[in-house]
Structure 1
Amino acid sequence: MPRWIRDNALSVVMLGAFVVFLVLQSIFGWHTHNEELAEYGAQPIGWLAYLGSGHFAESVFENWESEFLQMGGYVLLTAYLTQRGSAESKPEGQTDRPADDERRAGPDSPWPVRLGGLPLAVYRNSLSLALLLIFLGSFVGHLLGGTAEYNQQQALSAGVPPISAWDFLGTSEFWFQSMQNWQSEFLAVGVLILLSIFLRQHASPESKPVTAAHAETGA
């Protein structure tokens, strides 16, 4: 196996799977959307046109929104909250790790750490900030795509005039779409946190060692 692939295998597999499933989603979504159009007597659209439709944008960003909210919230909450016995928690009583002290920075440390000041302050929270910014972008994408899809459905079924994104933000439809994903994401993380207290996965950094006591906290 080439060294680059070996060194980056986890991200290559995860992002490769993402691309494969996104393409498959677009194909199946395209067929589903054309079936819906046929029910209203409308002409089907091509696959490339579907990629620019509200139907596709809404389905993609609706899921991204919940994923990045979950991950951003999880990264931020694990900095301050603990769960005794969980591999997903830092050890009880631990505040900052010694390696988080910028005075221990070396020549190989990231440049914001060596520079200090505002760049360091931002960098210390950059992971959760990046994830939450992607969440906000996905939220906007969901809102705009959902507005376009909602307007098309209303026009096809009732012939009513379109509404603005601001108006769609106030509909129960938009928040129903969001909440059905948000609740499932936080349920999945909560279950992982609790199951990692009692269950193990050999060789995984998301699990405590097989021989670790249930009360041992952190991986």
Structure 2
Amino acid sequence: MKRFLRNNGLSIVMGGLFLLFWAGQAVSGYLASKQNADLHGDRQGDFADYLASGHFWQATGENWESEFLQMGAYVIFTAFLFQKGSAESLDPDEEESKPHRRSSAGWLYRNSLSLAFFGLFAGAFTIHALGGLAEFNEEMTRHGRAPLKLAEFLRNPEFWFQSFQNWQSEFLAILAMVILTIFLRQEGSAQSKKVEEDDDHTGD
């Protein structure tokens, strides 16, 4: 067990933090939804009802979507774009001098990481769209207006506002990582260059 925890500590901690914060999102979202219902004099369902609500799944899908888009795009961009001095980049000078060997692996396997991330993005985008549609239509019904169909909701600026506000923040965070790892260090981290390496050194 000790060896298993050592070998898988990073994924265990990340998975644990994900579940902890997702639970926090669910509880705080339920309380916020209850507060909003009380304000408008509406009936509020129980916690199980909230977990099946558009409000919960719109917020969940919206955030997952931006994360998977960012990771999929970053995996692809780092295959052919460089940043001299960054721990996040391949070294452009080494790549120019390195002989290009053709892999015997099939196209699907050679691109499986980015395809997995974009598949997860598509799933999260769908969750966001369906959850957002449910929440939007609840609001429309509350105001005595006709609900929208999915295709109509996807043309609604509110949906894209939700997406773009998350997408821009994800790529800002990646930009910060790419640039800051040129000049700054974190001793012992796989995401940082070694403390003694020059700023011009590219890669970790």
TM-score scaled by structure 2?
Answer: 0.94
Match of 1:18 in 2: 18
Give the SS at the match of 2:80.
coil
Cα RMSD (Å): 1.8
Match of 1:87 in 2: 87
Instruction: Spell out structure 1 runs of 4+ moving beyond 2 A.
Output: 95-103
State percent identity of aligned pairs.
45
Matches of 1:95 and 1:159 in 2, distance apart?
64
Match of 1:127 in 2: 113
Cα deviation for residue 40 of structure 1 reads: 2.1
Structure 1 residues 187 and 96, CA gap change in structure 2 (3 angstroms): farther
Q: 1:209 aligns with which of 190, 194, 202?
A: 194
Matches of 2:134 and 2:89 in 1, distance apart?
41
Match of 2:124 in 1: 138
Q: Deviations over 1:177-216 (max 9, x none)?
A: 0000000000000011000000001011111111111111
1:9 aligns with 2:31: no
Structure 1 residues 213 and 137, CA gap change in structure 2 (3 angstroms): same
Matches of 1:98 and 1:187 in 2, distance apart?
34
Give the SS at the match of 1:78.
helix
Give the SS at the match of 1:161.
coil
Matches of 2:179 and 2:99 in 1, distance apart?
27
Matches of 2:98 and 2:163 in 1, distance apart?
36
Match of 1:116 in 2: none
Match of 2:72 in 1: 72
Matches of 1:96 and 1:60 in 2, distance apart?
45
Identify which range, 9-18 or 27-36, moves more after superposition: 27-36
Long gaps (5+) in structure 1: 104-112, 114-119
TM-score scaled by structure 1?
Answer: 0.88
Letter in 2 for 1:62: E
Q: Deviations over 1:60-110 (max 9, x none)?
A: 00000000000000001000100010000001141697897546xxxxxxx
Match of 1:45 in 2: 45
Matches of 1:191 and 1:2 in 2, distance apart?
35
Letter in 2 for 1:143: A
Letter in 1 for 2:158: E
Cα deviation for residue 23 of structure 1 reads: 0.8
1:164-183 equivalences in 2 (<5 Å): 164-183=149-168
Give the SS at the match of 2:115.
helix
Matches of 2:65 and 2:188 in 1, distance apart?
31
Structure 1 residues 4 and 170, CA gap change in structure 2 (3 angstroms): same
Matches of 1:96 and 1:178 in 2, distance apart?
41
Letter in 1 for 2:40: Y
Letter in 2 for 1:121: W
Give the SS at the match of 2:79.
coil
Match of 2:27 in 1: 27
Q: Deviations over 1:136-166 (max 9, x none)?
A: 111111001000001111222x211110111
